[in-house]
Amino acid sequence: MQVEASISKEIIQKVFQNTFDHASFFDDLGDIVLGMFAGVRLIGEIECQEGKETYEELRACLDRVVVDKSRHLDTFPSTRQLRAVFSLYFVWAGIFAYGEESGHDLWPPILRGIGIEPHPNLTGRYGELFMQCLQENGLEQFRVLRTGHPYVTRILLHGLIPDIHIECFINDIIKPELWSLMRSYNNGNRIIDKWCHEKHYALRYLPTPIKAKLEGHPGSSSPGRHSGS
């Protein structure tokens, strides 16, 4: 039986309140997340039942659990459960915290959200943790993707289209295609390839996450043009 891929504030709160120590928070919540990974290919398919409030609850619990802000990862055993919880947090942060306010940089809101200052060595370790999580759980790794920012781009892709860009995506990408007289003669891959063409207007002024999502789609003939924000 397929597990419903949905997490609520109540689930996160209950796990946090019932754990005996900080490490067991990752064990208990991680088991729940791992069960949901079995039914998805993209981490962003796991629904936040209350939207941003669910993300904020996970962020707040992680901030309290990661007590030693200088040693952070070194204070916990490296387990599949820990990697699953952090990877879910990374993707949700990409959905709800990434954008103009963060300077279109993903690691600062991820790490500062749990009280840790970003550092290149540290972001590399967290990026490797995310990639290991994808590999060990059979999640989409976007193997053909070539970008200068492999971790951030994949985290954003796993989050689908960030909330702040949904309206732009609908108005500037989806609606014009629905109104097009040619819509009956195009399939999905052909449409995406058209959008990703260098001279096509569609992607020129769109936010980076939307470009990354479309250019990383199997239907795009140019997967190497990711900006990798």
Report pLDDT digits (tens) over 1-58: 445 689 999 999 999 999 878 889 999 999 999 999 999 989 999 999 999 999 999 9
Q: Are residues 141 and 198 in the same domain?
A: no
Domain boundary among 100, 124, 158: 158
Quick count: other Cβ atoms within 10 Å of Cβ 83? Answer: 24
Q: Are residues 71 and 183 in the same domain?
A: no
The answer to whether residue 191 scores a pLDDT higher than 50 is yes
Number of domains in the chain: 2
Q: Are residues 127 and 21 in the same domain?
A: yes
Q: Are residues 186 and 84 in the same domain?
A: no
Question: Quick one: what percent of the chain has pLDDT higher than 90?
Answer: 38
Pairing type for strands 47-48 and 6-7 reads parallel
Domain boundary among 158, 193, 211: 158
Confirm whether 1 is domain-assigned: no
Q: What's the CA angle centered on 151, arms 61 and 189, to 5 degrees?
A: 115
Q: Are residues 127 and 184 in the same domain?
A: no
Q: Are residues 43 and 138 in the same domain?
A: yes
- Residue 7 three-state SS: strand
Domain boundary among 158, 174, 191: 158
Provide the residue range defining the domain that includes 185.
165-225
